[in-house]
Amino acid sequence: MVMGMGVECNMKRPKVLLVPYPAQGHVNPMLKLGLAFVSHGFEPIIVTPEFIHRRIAANTDADNGGVRFVSIPDGLDGEKGPLDFFAIEKSMENVMPIYLESLLRELDEDDDGKVACLVIDLLASWAIQVAERCGVPAAGFWPAMQATYRLITAIPEMIHSDLISETGCPRHQGTVLSLPSQPLLSTEDLPWLIGTQASRKARLKFWTRTLERSTALPWLLLNSFPREFIDGDGDSVDEHEADHISTTPPRTNPIIFPVGPLSKSSLTTTKNPSFWREDTSCLDWLNHQKSNSVIYISFGSWVSPIGDAKIKTLALTLESLNRPFIWVLADSWRQGLPDGYSERVSKQGKLVSWAPQLQILQHEAVGLYITHCGWNSTMEAIQCRKRLLCYPVAGDQFVNCKYIVKVWKIGVKMNGLGLKDVEEAVKKVTEDEEMEGRLMNIYQRTMGEEASSRVVGNFKDFICGLNRVQRCKDDKTL
Ligand X SMILES: O=c1ccn([C@@H]2O[C@H](COP(=O)(O)OP(=O)(O)O[C@H]3O[C@H](CO)[C@@H](O)[C@H](O)[C@H]3O)[C@@H](O)[C@H]2O)c(=O)[nH]1
The residues that touch ligand X, with contacts defined as CB under 6 A, are: 23-26, 28, 143-144, 263, 272, 298, 300-303, 328, 354-355, 357-358, 374-377, 380, 395-397
Nearest residue (CB) to ligand X, 313 versus 397:
397
Is the Cβ–Cβ distance between 336 and 315 less than 8 Å?
yes
What is the smallest separation between the CB atom of 301 and ligand X, expressed in angstroms? 4
What is the smallest separation between the CB atom of 409 and ligand X, expressed in angstroms? 20
What is the smallest separation between the CB atom of 82 and ligand X, expressed in angstroms? 12
Residue 366 three-state SS: strand
CA angle 297, 299, 300 (to 5 degrees): 115
Cβ-based neighbours of 55, under 8 Å, separated by 6 or more: 78, 275, 276
What is the smallest separation between the CB atom of 396 and ligand X, expressed in angstroms? 5
> Is the bond leading into 261 cis (omega within 30 degrees of zero)?
yes
Nearest residue (CB) to ligand X, 30 versus 103:
30
What is the smallest separation between the CB atom of 197 and ligand X, expressed in angstroms? 22
> Is the bond leading into 324 cis (omega within 30 degrees of zero)?
no
Side-chain-side CA neighbours of residue 75 (13 Å): 13
Nearest residue (CB) to ligand X, 115 versus 190:
190
Cβ-based neighbours of 256, under 8 Å, separated by 6 or more: 146, 220, 222
Nearest residue (CB) to ligand X, 144 versus 407:
144
Nearest residue (CB) to ligand X, 257 versus 398:
398
Nearest residue (CB) to ligand X, 47 versus 382:
382
What is the smallest separation between the CB atom of 278 and ligand X, expressed in angstroms? 7
Distances (CA, A) of 12 to 34, 41, 110, 111: 17, 9, 10, 8
Is the Cβ–Cβ distance between 343 and 366 less than 8 Å?
no
Cβ-based neighbours of 135, under 8 Å, separated by 6 or more: none
